[in-house]
Amino acid sequence: MEEEFDGQASGGFFDFKGFLFRLLSFWWLFIISLGIAFAIARYVNVRKVPIFRETSMISIKDDQNPLFTGNTSLVFNWGGTTDKVQTSIILLKSRTHTERVVQYLQYYINYQKQGKYAIEDVYGYTPFVLKLNDSFPQLYGKRMTFIDQGNGAFKVKIPFNGGNASLYNYKTLRPSTVPAPASDYEAVFELGDTINTSFLKGTLMPTEVYPKEGQEYYVSLGNFNGITGRYRGIGVEQTPRGSSILELSLVGTNKKRLIDYLNASIEVRTQEQLRQKNLFATKTIAYIDSSLRDSNIDLDKALADLNAFQSKNNAITLSGGAEQISEELQKYDTQKDQLSNQLIYNKQLEDYLRTRTDYSNVPAPSVSLINEGSISAGVSNIVQLALQRSNLAYTAKEGNPAFRDLDRRIDAEKEVLFENINSSKAIINAQIRELNQDIREAEAKLRQFPKEEQELAAIQRRFTISQEAYNLYTAKRSEAEIIKASNVSDILFIDRAKDVGRGPIGPNTRLNNVMATVFGLAIPFALVLVIFFLDTKIGNPEDVKKRSAIPILGVIGKSKRSSGLVVRDYPRSAIAEAFRGLRSGLQFLYKKKGVTGAKTVLITSSVSGEGKTFTSINLASVFALSEKKTVLVGLDLRKPKIFDDFNIENDKGVVNYLIGDATLNEIKQSSGIDHLDVILSGPIPPNPSELIISDAMGDFIEQLKQEYDYIVLDTPPLGLVTDSFELMPYVDASLYVVRQGYTKKDMLGLVNDKFEKGEIKHISFVLNYFQQKGKYGYGYGSGSSYGYGYGYGYGTYNNGYHEEERRSWLKRLIKRK
């Protein structure tokens, strides 16, 4: 029973079984791909530089100066531990901080040597380090070779050929050039020597690494911005999340570089944090130093005047009343001087806040003895907000809403501070007016005493004021120094980065091997999938069944014989048995149709090369071997082939009969096989199609039926010419040969169309050149719709039934595997 065929549905069908066998057929591709993948993995595992990960741990604490009081105002609160932690995370990753660390460690100097497979970074493993004088520009982009000469001496070789040498100042970050030597530079330096050339200035410092005579080291100065960018990848994580403990981590190929950077990063950050924390104290000390110089001058002048007066008026002293009044005036003057200093500070502070935009350098209130808490708190808040804004600039761009919020808060603090300053100035002015009144009254009383006593009282008054001012500034400076010295950083090392023998984290050999396996399998899998989808040729019987309702009558295996007469020369071969199965299938068809007497079969294909002539010859041979009188007729008038296989001349044939130039007996020839005659096509005519459709062709077929039991017609390809189509009315069955791996799937469209329209009847497919290989989606024989076509090869199970082809020992081994 014929299968119902749906040409539309077949297009979306995916043959999983066929694809699986196709995968198995490409086993060699998987082996090659896996071999290449594992070779690459081994190269990476063995030759790639190991990757290390080093860590350090710190704590951010809220450590206030124990000597800090509201009266000093020399330090300020950063905003609590939480703000400090977040600020520290941002700053440790910032470009500015990274630049400071790189400059501090001079990490722009590269130390290398030739390793087993490539140039290696040997920072920390050299018997010397080059300590550059960063105040001068240094040679940039040249590889300098340091050769160990033994006894602490190194020969330095630098290639030059005139022109200009590129320099770079790693402190100012500015490039420059100098005239280069006309030839290579060579010099010998000992450890501790200073290198002083126009292009390189520094000192060759010893390390703890033991020297190795003859060893070459390569030193070069790299791109500062590139190196800075490389270390901005430092990891900073809160451990646990939300705590004040930070874990710093860094990944790289040189363990000592990582350790030094992690430790130096904290040291640099600690110094910068202390500098900011001591900002008020530093500014106070600088201000007091300048005031001390002025006070010292006044004190010296007052002392000189006092000595001069006493030398002239040795006998004059202040009486009891004059001395008491003089002491009162000195007290009033001291108070007035303090109040005046406060007024001056308030005026300076107000002018500073109105004319500046950088508020991180606001002078401390304590330098003018201001003890008013509102002003001290306001200054501290403004400085804190200004530093927060400065820190935010490391990670955010201008226009960020956070900047606007900080600016708004600073402006609000300024307005409050301006109100407090105005209020303070009013109170101070009132106090000064009261002191001026007291001074005038005291001076009036003093004028009642002798002139000499008045003059002595005035000199002593100036001297006492200058001395008290000097003592006050000296005391305030000592206080500021104590506060500055007692300040400690809020950053505390818990674990410094240290080489504890931790192994590399990469390359991950296990992961690389897994990736090699994945890619080694995925790449050929994808390639086979693409091949499978792009394969437009018939590969197995299922390909035919999915694309046509025409049944498959038989499957013929691939012949490796040189002879086309396989049935005659190798009657016990698997292919001969397949043709016997094909013969049985035809007999079933004849019986089903009720054909009696002579039986005819036409053999065609889509295009040339699909094996229709090979099928015709061997099908005719297998009929003849059953002792049935058989004739093989070559009706491919355009491209005859049969005569080559039978080794006969194609001088006369069907053409001669059709044009009336010869009789049937004159054109038939012996094939050399009992019961089998051959009628060749004869000379190639100019009008083959007209001869095929002539009345003579009908007479020719009728004569053959009277003389033979089986008539096998070898016709031209149906996909190229219509000759085969014209001959089908004369035959009882038609065989359409499809060759595995050769016939394109779309070629079945023509015969399908004619079959569906009813123009062709009693036609069956024969799958030729079939191989028992998984690449075509099948590893076993496939029968026809009628249950025939299994008579070819069953692997090792055909032993004794079919003749085996001789194979070399290598082919037999591969076949067995």
Q: What is the pLDDT of residue 45?
A: 81
Q: What is the pLDDT of residue 10?
A: 44
Work out the widest C-alpha separation in the chain, in whole angstroms. Answer: 178
Output the CA torsion 284→286→288→293 (10° steps): 180
Measured CA to CA, the distance from residue 524 to residue 25 in angstroms comes to 12
Measured CA to CA, the distance from residue 545 to residue 749 in angstroms comes to 13
Output the CA torsion 636→640→642→647 (10° steps): 160
Residues 570/803, Cβ–Cβ less than 8 Å: yes
Q: Residue 555 CB: number of other CB atoms within 10 A? A: 29
Measured CA to CA, the distance from residue 544 to residue 740 in angstroms comes to 10
**Type and span of the H or E element at 486:** helix 451-486
Q: What is the pLDDT of residue 598?
A: 94
Statement to judge: residues 286 and 407 lie in one domain: yes
- Is residue 812 one of the residues assigned to a domain? yes
Return the HEC string of 184-195: CEEEEEECCCEE
Q: What is the pLDDT of residue 772?
A: 63
Statement to judge: residues 691 and 564 lie in one domain: yes
Q: What is the pLDDT of residue 212?
A: 92
Could you give phi then psi for residue 59, rounded to 5 degrees? -125, 140
**Type and span of the H or E element at 176:** strand 174-179
Residue 167, strand partner residues: 139, 176
Closest CA to 459 of 313, 307, 317, 306: 306
Q: What is the pLDDT of residue 74?
A: 43
Q: What is the DSSP letter of 742?
A: T
Statement to judge: residues 751 and 811 lie in one domain: yes
DSSP-derived secondary structure for 353-392: HHH-S--TTPPPGGGGT---HHHHHHHHHHHHHHHHHHHH
Residues 6+ apart with CB under 8 A from 790: 581, 781, 783
Q: What is the pLDDT of residue 649?
A: 87
Q: Residue 676 CB: number of other CB atoms within 10 A? A: 25
Joined tokens for residue 397: 């761009």
Burial (Cβ within 10 Å: 0-12, 13-18, ≥19) of residue 84: buried
Q: Strands of 98-163 (E only): list them.
A: 109-114, 119-121, 128-132, 138-139, 144-150, 153-158
Task: Report how far apart the first and last C-alpha atoms of the chain are (Å, whole number).
Answer: 40
Statement to judge: residues 563 and 434 lie in one domain: no
Could you list the residue range(s) of the whole structural domain that residue 674 is in? 541-816
Statement to judge: residues 662 and 805 lie in one domain: yes
Q: Pick from 206, 222, 238: which residue ends a domain?
A: 222
Residues 6+ apart with CB under 8 A from 19: 528, 529, 532, 777
Residues 139/199, Cβ–Cβ less than 8 Å: yes
Region of residue 164 (phi > 0: left; psi between -120 and 50: alpha; otherwise: beta):
beta
- Is residue 168 one of the residues assigned to a domain? yes
Joined tokens for residue 599: 């039986």
What tens digit of pLDDT does each residue of 541-588 get?
A: 888 888 899 999 999 988 877 778 888 888 888 899 999 999 999 999
Residues 138/221, Cβ–Cβ less than 8 Å: yes
Question: How many angstroms separate the Cα of 784 from the Cα of each of 538, 637, 774, 807?
Answer: 16, 31, 20, 30
Statement to judge: residues 527 and 567 lie in one domain: no
Measured CA to CA, the distance from residue 627 to residue 559 in angstroms comes to 25
Measured CA to CA, the distance from residue 287 to residue 283 in angstroms comes to 6
The amino acid sitting at 322 is A
- Is residue 99 one of the residues assigned to a domain? no
Which portions of the chain are predicted below pLDDT 70? 1-13, 62-83, 280, 310, 314-320, 358-372, 391-398, 772-817
Statement to judge: residues 610 and 647 lie in one domain: yes
Q: What is the DSSP letter of 150?
A: E
What tens digit of pLDDT does each residue of 503-549 get?
A: 888 888 888 899 999 999 999 999 999 888 888 888 888 888 888 99
Joined tokens for residue 494: 């818990």
Measured CA to CA, the distance from residue 480 to residue 501 in angstroms comes to 46
- Is residue 468 one of the residues assigned to a domain? yes
Q: What is the pLDDT of residue 166?
A: 95
Statement to judge: residues 212 and 283 lie in one domain: no
Tokens 């008013």, residue?
372
Measured CA to CA, the distance from residue 721 to residue 690 in angstroms comes to 12
Statement to judge: residues 518 and 582 lie in one domain: no
Counting Cα atoms < 13 Å in the Cβ hemisphere of 168 gives: 14
Measured CA to CA, the distance from residue 615 to residue 555 in angstroms comes to 11
Joined tokens for residue 747: 């070629």
- Is residue 591 one of the residues assigned to a domain? yes
Q: What is the pLDDT of residue 6?
A: 44
Statement to judge: residues 201 and 311 lie in one domain: no
Number of helices and strands (H, E) in the chain? 25, 24
Measured CA to CA, the distance from residue 267 to residue 217 in angstroms comes to 29
Closest CA to 116 of 48, 211, 210: 48
Q: Helix, strand, or coil here: 199?
A: coil
What tens digit of pLDDT does each residue of 205-239 get?
A: 999 999 999 999 999 999 999 999 999 889 999 98
Measured CA to CA, the distance from residue 759 to residue 761 in angstroms comes to 7
Residue 220, strand partner residues: 110
- Is residue 364 one of the residues assigned to a domain? yes
Q: What is the pLDDT of residue 280?
A: 65
Measured CA to CA, the distance from residue 228 to residue 100 in angstroms comes to 9
Region of residue 28 (phi > 0: left; psi between -120 and 50: alpha; otherwise: beta):
alpha
Could you give phi then psi for residue 277, rounded to 5 degrees? -65, -35
Could you give phi then psi for residue 113, rounded to 5 degrees? -150, 165
Statement to judge: residues 462 and 609 lie in one domain: no
- Is residue 634 one of the residues assigned to a domain? yes
Measured CA to CA, the distance from residue 15 to residue 539 in angstroms comes to 12
Q: What is the pLDDT of residue 64?
A: 53
Measured CA to CA, the distance from residue 267 to residue 493 in angstroms comes to 10
Q: Helix, strand, or coil here: 709?
A: coil
Joined tokens for residue 395: 């990670």
**Type and span of the H or E element at 166:** strand 164-169
Q: Helix, strand, or coil here: 145?
A: strand
- Give the rounded distance of the alpha carbon of 812 from its chain centre: 48
Residues 265/92, Cβ–Cβ less than 8 Å: yes
Q: Strands of 44-132 (E only): list them.
A: 52-60, 109-114, 119-121, 128-132
- Give the rounded distance of the alpha carbon of 255 from its chain centre: 23
Residues 156/144, Cβ–Cβ less than 8 Å: yes
- Is residue 643 one of the residues assigned to a domain? yes
**Type and span of the H or E element at 532:** helix 509-534
Joined tokens for residue 333: 């003057």
Statement to judge: residues 706 and 727 lie in one domain: yes
Q: In the chain, how many domains are there?
A: 4
Closest CA to 337 of 361, 316, 368, 358: 368
Question: How many angstroms separate the Cα of 669 from the Cα of each of 174, 176, 544, 682, 734?
Answer: 102, 101, 37, 12, 24
Residues 160/181, Cβ–Cβ less than 8 Å: yes
